A = this chain, B = another copy of it.
């Protein structure tokens, strides 16, 4: 098990997170500041890699930076319980479900508009009519 040392470019390629974003995560305190070379270039080890993968995975699941910070604090402090983590995840899950519901409504409304519209060369358009109706 040799210690791997990664430049920011390599880390970026390995994780698919782009360089500016990595630096941004460091700046806002989400990703731990790594060691530096004499010249000031960042040098990451496997802990940095692990942390960034965690962040990327959480983002992929739609967690906000704020939520990730709180999960991450919990975990790195080593004080978390399974219960707490589960509860934060459930809260987020219900947010996601709310968003899905609202998008479904939009989808339905849009699909109805498209269906009602004749799609011809005229200006007699059900979509325009509906969007401009004066009823509030």
Contact = CB atoms under 8 A, between A and B. Distances in A.
A116 to B, nearest CB: 10
Interface of A: 14-16, 46, 49-50, 53-54, 57-58, 60-62, 71, 75, 78, 80-83, 85-86, 89-90, 92-93, 96-97, 99-100, 103-104, 106-107, 109-111, 113-114, 117-128, 130-134, 136
Contacts of A97: 107
A118 B58 CA distance: 20
Given A86-B114, A128-B75, A93 B81 contact: no
The secondary-structure label for the interface of chain A is helix
Given A15-B136, A61-B110, A54 B119 contact: no
A110 B82 CA distance: 15
B93 A111 contact: yes
Given A61-B109, A93-B107, A106-B96, A82 B125 contact: yes
6 contacts: A15-B136, A53-B136, A89-B110, A93-B114, A97-B107, A100-B104
Contacts of A99: 103
A125 B57 CA distance: 16
B125 A80 contact: yes
B53 A117 contact: no
